[in-house]
A and B are shown apart, each in its own frame.
Chain A
Amino acid sequence: MPALFFIALGGLLWRGLYLDTRTLPSMLIDKQMPKFSLETIGGDIVTNEDLPEQIFLLNVWGSYCLPCLVEHPTFMRLSEEGEIPVVGINYKDRNDLAKGWLETNGNPFAYSIEDENGRFGIDLGVYGAPETYLVDSEGVIRYRHVSVLDETVWLEEFLPAIEELRLESN
C-alpha cells in the first residue's frame, strides 16, 4: 500500500517535471475576437467587419522577432498555396522596420494590423510574438498556438483543429 502510494505520487510529480508551464492557456478560446478599429501598416483602417469570412489565421509578428523569421516560410507557403488566409498583427514594432521586414522576406499576410503600443495585443491576451490564433468564419477564436508555427505544428495542431471546425459547421 505505501509502495503503491509512493509510485502514484512519484508518477504525478515526475510528470509535473515535464509539464509546459511557459505556455499560458488563452482566455479567449470560443470567444468573439475583441472589437477593434485600427490602421494596417499600409495606413488603411480595418475593423472586425474586414476580417475574412472564413476560417483564418491571425499571426502576431514583429520585425525584431527571430522566431517569426523561423515560421515565416510556413506562412508564405500557406498563403501562396491559398490554403488559408493569414491576417497579421504587427506587434510593438516600428512601421518602417515592419515594412522593410516584409519587403526583404516576403509578405504572407492579407494585411497586417498595426499594434505599435501593444494595446490590441492586451485585449487578445498576447504576451509576446510569435503567437498564432485560429479564428472561425464567425470571428470566434478557436485555438491559440504560442511560439513558432512550423510545418510540424501546422500538421499536428492546426490541420486537425481546422478539420474539426469544418465538421462542426457542416
Chain B
Amino acid sequence: MRRMSFNNLFLTSMSVFLLITQPNIYAQVDTFEFDNDEQQGRFRQLSNELRCPMCQNTNLSGSTGGVAEDLRREIHRMILEGMSNEEIEQFMFERYGDFIFYRPRLRAETILLWFGPLLFLIIGGFIAYGIFRRANSVDRVTVDLDEEQEAKLNELVGK
C-alpha cells in the first residue's frame, strides 16, 4: 500500500516535471516550411506566446482548434512576407484584442491587471501595519499596590 502511493507520487512528479520542462511535447505538427532557422524560431515563439481565442487556456501551438490552425497559417504567411513580430502581434490584437496575449499590453484597460496585485499588496500592508500598531499600543495600566498586596505578589513570584 505504502509502496504504491510512493510509485504514484513518483509518476505524478515525473509527469509534472516533464510538463514543465517540455512545454512543446504537445505542439501540433504543422508542415510549414521556412527560409531559415531564424524564421522558424520566430514562428515557434509567436505560436507559443499567443493564446488560442477559442480554447481559453491553450496557446496557438498547442491547440487543435480550427481557428488556432488558421492563425498558425497566418503567422507563417506573415513571417514569410517579412513582417516583424510587432507587426504580427498588432495584426492579432486588431482582430482578437488583449485576450490573444498571455502577457497583455499595458493599456488603460489592462492597468488593473498589471498593477492590481501591487495594489492589493499595498492595501494588505496597511492593514497589517494597523493591526500590529494596535497590538503594540494596548494601554499599560499602572496600579498602586498596598503593602498587603505587595507581599502577596512577592510571595507569588517567589521573592
Residues of A within 8 A of B (CB): 2, 5, 21-22, 24-25, 27-28, 92, 117-119, 121-128
User: How far does the alpha carbon of A126 sit from the alpha carbon of B67 in the complex, in Å?
Assistant: 8
Which residue of A2, A27, A119 is within 8 Å of B70 (Cβ)?
Answer: A119
Q: Are A24 and B67 in contact (CB under 8 A)?
A: no
Note all chain A residues with C-beta closer than 8 A to B54.
Answer: 127-128
Q: Are B97 and A122 in contact (CB under 8 A)?
A: no
Q: Are A127 and B67 in contact (CB under 8 A)?
A: yes
A122-B74, A127-B67, A128-B67 are known contacts. Are A27 and B53 too (CB-CB below 8 A)? no
Note all chain B residues with C-beta closer than 8 A to A24.
Answer: 53, 96-97, 99
Q: List 28 A-B contacts (CB under 8 A).
A: A5-B123, A24-B53, A24-B97, A24-B99, A25-B97, A27-B93, A27-B95, A27-B97, A92-B66, A117-B70, A117-B73, A118-B66, A118-B67, A119-B70, A121-B67, A121-B70, A122-B70, A122-B71, A122-B95, A123-B95, A124-B95, A125-B53, A125-B97, A127-B53, A127-B54, A127-B67, A127-B96, A128-B66
Query: Which bucket holds chain B's interface residue count?
Result: 10 to 19
Note all chain A residues with C-beta closer than 8 A to B99.
Answer: 24
Per the 8 Å Cβ criterion, residues 103-137 of B in contact with A are: 123, 127
Distance in angstroms from A7 CB to nearest chain B CB is 14
User: How far does the alpha carbon of A92 sit from the alpha carbon of B127 in the complex, in Å?
Assistant: 55
Distance in angstroms from B158 CB to nearest chain A CB is 42
Residues of B within 8 A of A (CB): 53-54, 56, 65-67, 70-71, 73-74, 93-97, 99, 123, 127
Which residue of A22, A125, A126 is within 8 Å of B56 (Cβ)?
Answer: A22
User: How far does the alpha carbon of A22 sit from the alpha carbon of B65 in the complex, in Å?
Assistant: 15
Note all chain B residues with C-beta closer than 8 A to A119.
Answer: 70, 74
Q: Are B95 and A125 in contact (CB under 8 A)?
A: yes
Distance in angstroms from A136 CB to nearest chain B CB is 20
Q: Among A117, A124, A125, which residue has the most Cβ atoms of chain B within 10 A?
A: A125
Distance in angstroms from A65 CB to nearest chain B CB is 11
Further pairs besides A22-B56, A121-B67, A127-B67: 18, Cβ < 8 Å: A24-B96, A24-B97, A25-B97, A27-B95, A27-B96, A27-B97, A92-B66, A118-B66, A118-B70, A121-B70, A122-B70, A122-B71, A122-B74, A123-B95, A124-B95, A125-B53, A125-B97, A127-B53
Q: Among A25, A28, A122, which residue has the most Cβ atoms of chain B within 10 A?
A: A122
Note all chain B residues with C-beta closer than 8 A to A118.
Answer: 66-67, 70
Note all chain A residues with C-beta closer than 8 A to B53.
Answer: 24, 125, 127
A122-B74, A128-B54 are known contacts. Are A5 and B127 too (CB-CB below 8 A)? yes
Distance in angstroms from A119 CB to nearest chain B CB is 7
User: How far does the alpha carbon of A124 sit from the alpha carbon of B70 in the complex, in Å?
Assistant: 13
Note all chain B residues with C-beta closer than 8 A to A128.
Answer: 54, 65-67
User: How far does the alpha carbon of A122 sit from the alpha carbon of B123 in the complex, in Å?
Assistant: 42
